Structure 1
Amino acid sequence: MTNLASSTNSDVRAEVTGAYAAWDTAFNKADAKGVATAYVSNAKVLPPTHQVISGPEEIEKFFAGLFSGGFTDHKLTIIDAGGDEKVVYSTAKWTANGKGPDGSRQSAGGIATHVFERQADGSLKLRLHTFN
């Protein structure tokens, strides 16, 4: 496995930025199926609830639950990214808005870690996603 040269780290960062933009777009449309398509078939999502969510069906159901709770305005901002021709990793700050117990708008945010697998067509799909 060949590591990416430092001159291509900006390429990886640009790819991750593009993947994040597509993910945020699906999230902000409350498109749980669209969000789930960003993950490989054996992907894991590890939210702060300590659940282990496996595969696109469970991932879709998890995000549909967030959308029914009024979450929107999601934004991922890259902290770091790197990897090679098969696996790409990234860390990001995330922000979103939801509804508080009284129905008022409430902001949320934290840090996320992502591991992507490069697909045959060169695109990135998530293998692991954890956030707090």
Structure 2
Amino acid sequence: MVRLLTSIFIVTCLCLFAWTPAKADPDADVKAAYAAWDAAFNKADAKAIAAFYTDDAMFLPATHDVIKGPAGVEKFFGGLFGMGVTGHKLELIETQGDGNMVVGAAKWSAKGKDTKGADQPWGGVATHVFEKQADGGLKLSVHTFN
């Protein structure tokens, strides 16, 4: 009888452990989102970049424009690609939050052109507010950079 109870206890503990959700790792989630975003940027795919934003996203670029939604994001980045901007990279500084909302701070860099068309490095810092999606992925609801 003791052996049977011990076996039941062990099986129950294993089942509970298997059903316990893994602790979210916001750093890993944001790094994965940054890598995917950079990949889309570096293919000059404005439509793919726009897909990273929620329908009601607010994008606040260094131009001081207030851009809403994926269509506005697509138009903005299409313009950057038309100017020859390439080589984008996001480097995570820190994340905060867990659950359904995560905030990421990053350094960003890209290769742009100066007024004479010569290569010029660009860079700054960015803040990203992500919303966790039903599939576990992240989408941007707020994005701002300088």
Q: TM-score, normalised by structure 1?
A: 0.91
The Cα of 1:100 is off from its aligned counterpart by 1.3
Corresponding residue for 1:4? none
Alignment counterpart, residue 138 of structure 2, candidates 118, 124, 127: 124
Deviation track 1:38-91 (CA, whole Å, cap 9, x = no partner) reads 000000110111100000111100000011011110000000012121101010
Q: Deviation string for 1:84-122 (max 9, x for gaps)?
A: 211010100000001111111111000000000000111
- Long gaps (5+) in structure 1: 1-7
Q: Partner amino acid for 1:87?
A: M
Q: Calculate percent identity across the aligned residue pairs.
A: 57
Aligned 1:103-114 pairs, distance under 5 A:
103-114=117-128
* Counterpart residue number, 1:61: 75
Note the 1:94-109 alignment, pairs <5 A.
94-109=108-123
**TM-score normalised by L of structure 2:** 0.83
Rounded to whole Å, the distance in 2 between the matches of 1:72 and 1:25 is 11
Equivalent residue pairs, number: 125
Letter in 1 for 2:35: A
Higher relative contact order (CA 8 A, sep 6+): 1
Is the helix fraction higher in 1 or 2? Answer: 2
Alignment match, 1:13: 27
Residue number among 91, 100, 119 corresponding to 1:86 in the alignment: 100
Residue type of the partner of 2:87?
A: D
Equivalent of 2:40, from 20, 26, 48?
26
Is residue 46 from structure 1 mapped to residue 63 from structure 2 by the alignment?
no
Runs ≥4 in structure 1, deviation > 6 angstroms? none
Larger-Rg structure = 2
Normalized per residue, the structure richer in strand is 1
